[in-house]
Chains A and B, each alone.
Chain A
């Protein structure tokens, strides 16, 4: 059985799914990730699905479970790279993936993780002011 590799990059675990996963492979990934979060102490997980040409309810549920388990283990998960056709199909299928955070690509996913861990970015000084519209 094939296995989806999990890479550690800094404080982040990066998973790039490059194959059409059998259900068993998806479940294995779920286990591997939980294991890796604990052994590495990483606080962020990025799952890149840009190579997937479909996501069905099984993969959808696996992603949701991964996100929930990670949260329990104090790690934030971001799913990145979902293709437009896949997203349109998921909406029709009725799968809204509640509880999963998403970003358009790996870069934006990393930014999202950084922001939610409170690492304020240089040019984000006025974070406290939600409206940039000047009040007259």
Chain B
């Protein structure tokens, strides 16, 4: 429920009249909740800024948090939650920073039976609730973005594309391949082909315990895409179980070269290219 113009006017007066006392009390309440994980002066500075934000919004005639007059306040709340989220505070601890203003105001109103003051407080309380919800919401959004970023970084870390030889790159895949990861790896592989001008790529799946249809399709499509770009892919290290899956799923690997190990694959590529391969004496069987 929105405030009446009179109410927001009176609240602006109240906040400015008791500014100093409010800030001290408010900062104390928040500080207790954060258990010393933020320095007192820092906390007081933040709290003072917020107090000003609320006061100015009311003074400008804001009757609800969504009003244009409250734009500055919303930006402040958004920044607060974004900072708290990045510093690793919980959603609760972040929302308290706003909720505590209620208690602080109650403290300055003191014991009263004045009907108007009570009505003002109820209206004010509703406004604070919406501000806290808004803070909570921005907090969650920032956390989600952070998590997505981290997931992406993990993905990059877990999928190296290495240059194995002049003209040959390899992707040793380790661990479970889900569709998202398969897609990222394959895009990186293709880009590496361009960047290094390598016409051969070895996709080694020795370390992959299982594949599903989607992942097998991704690998297949990558091989076709590489071919369109002018590069050849060799798949090495297919486990018996994966071979069974591929056949059972009816996926056509067609004329794609498969080799049992990365070494075999490399030897095959070098042979195709008629490079001179110097090997220590070994016996074929």
Q: Do chains A and B touch in the complex (CB under 8 A)?
A: yes
Measured CB to CB, the residues of A under 8 A from B are 78-80, 82-85, 87-88, 90-92, 96-97, 101-105, 107-109, 124, 126-127, 129-136
Tell whether, in the assembled complex, residue A88 and residue B225 are in contact, meaning their CB atoms are under 8 Å apart.
Answer: yes
What A residues does B275 contact at CB under 8 A? 132
* Majority SS at the chain B contact face: helix
Binds A, one of B36-44, B98-106, B191-199: B191-199
Given A84-B191, A88-B221, A102-B228: A107 in contact with B277 (beta carbons within 8 A): no
Chain B, range 71-115, C-beta contacts under 8 Å to A: none
Measured CB to CB, the residues of B under 8 A from A are 186-187, 190-191, 193-194, 197-199, 221-222, 224-231, 267, 270-272, 274-277, 279, 282-284
A108-B230, A130-B274 given; 12 more Cβ-contact pairs under 8 Å: A84-B191, A87-B225, A88-B225, A90-B228, A96-B224, A97-B228, A104-B197, A104-B230, A108-B197, A132-B276, A134-B279, A136-B283
Tell whether, in the assembled complex, residue A131 and residue B271 are in contact, meaning their CB atoms are under 8 Å apart.
Answer: yes
What B residues does A78 contact at CB under 8 A? 230
Q: B269's closest neighbor in chain A, by CB?
A: A132
Q: Which of B229, B274, B284 sits near A126, CB closer than 8 Å? A: B274
Given A83-B194, A104-B194, A108-B197: A132 in contact with B277 (beta carbons within 8 A): yes
What A residues does B274 contact at CB under 8 A? 124, 126-127, 129-130, 132
What B residues does A88 contact at CB under 8 A? 186-187, 190, 221-222, 225
How far apart are the CA atoms of A124 and B272 in the complex, in Å? 11
What B residues does A107 contact at CB under 8 A? 197
Given A127-B274, A129-B274, A133-B267: A90 in contact with B194 (beta carbons within 8 A): no
What A residues does B279 contact at CB under 8 A? 133-134
Name 29 interchain pairs, CB-CB below 8 A, sorted by A: A82-B229, A83-B194, A83-B229, A84-B190, A84-B191, A87-B190, A87-B225, A87-B226, A88-B190, A88-B222, A91-B224, A91-B225, A102-B227, A103-B199, A104-B193, A104-B229, A104-B230, A104-B231, A108-B197, A108-B199, A127-B274, A132-B270, A132-B275, A132-B276, A133-B279, A134-B279, A135-B284, A136-B282, A136-B283
Tell whether, in the assembled complex, residue A87 and residue B283 are in contact, meaning their CB atoms are under 8 Å apart.
Answer: no
Tell whether, in the assembled complex, residue A130 and residue B271 are in contact, meaning their CB atoms are under 8 Å apart.
Answer: yes
What A residues does B277 contact at CB under 8 A? 132-134
Most buried by A among B225, B230, B267, B276: B230
How far apart are the CA atoms of A97 and B197 in the complex, in Å? 21
- Minimum distance in angstroms from B130 CB to a CB of chain A: 44
Tell whether, in the assembled complex, residue A82 and residue B230 are in contact, meaning their CB atoms are under 8 Å apart.
Answer: yes
How far apart are the CA atoms of A109 and B194 in the complex, in Å? 13
